[in-house]
Amino acid sequence: MSRKSTDRSPTPVIGRTMINETDAETYMKKYDFFDRDDMFPQNVRTMEIKEWQEFARKNPYLAKFYNKKKPGYFFLALETWNSEVAYDICNPLTENIFTDVINYWRNLILNNDSNANVAKVLLSNVGIALSSAPGSQEA
C-alpha cells in the first residue's frame, strides 16, 4: 500500500537533514542503552549489495545501525521518520531489519534471557522514539 505525501510537514525523508552525524550521538543519549552494541540481533536478514545503496539512502540511520550496531541509531531512524511521505519511499517499519530487531528484543523477554530487562527498556525506547519530534532532547 502506498500513500502519497500530503506536503503538510516540513520534515524531510528520514534523517536527511534533521540530525547531522556530529549531533547524532548527542540525541541518542536520551535513550537508555543507546550504545549497547551487544543488543544487536545475531541474525539479521541481509540484502543484496545492489539494494544496500538504496536502503542506506532511504533509511540512513537504519543503515548506520546495521553498520555500527548501536541501538541509538535505530531509535533515530524512528524519531526522524516522516510518516507523511509515501510508505514505499522510506518507511522503516517495513524494513526487514526493523522486524528482526523487534523480534530479537521481544524474544529476549519471552525467553527470560539475562538481558531481558535491557530489552524491555529498548522496546520502550521504540515508543519514545516514535512519539518524539526529530532532534528532541527529551525522552
pLDDT number for residue 52: 81
- For the chain, give the number of residues: 139
**Which of 63, 96, 64, 91 is closest to 78 using CA atoms?**
91
pLDDT number for residue 16: 46
pLDDT number for residue 55: 81
Task: Identify which has the larger pLDDT, 3 or 126.
Answer: 126
Query: Could you tell me which residues come within 8 angstroms of residue 86 by beta carbon, excluding any fewer than 6 positions away?
Result: 2, 3, 4, 5
pLDDT digits (tens, 9 = 90+) for 71-117: 999 999 898 887 777 666 677 888 888 999 999 999 999 999 999 99
pLDDT digits (tens, 9 = 90+) for 26-55: 889 899 999 999 999 988 887 777 788 888
The set of cell numbers assigned to 19 is 540530525
pLDDT number for residue 87: 63
Q: What is the CA radius of gyration of the chain?
A: 15
Q: Model's pTM, two decimal places?
A: 0.81
Q: Where are the domains of the chain?
A: 21-130
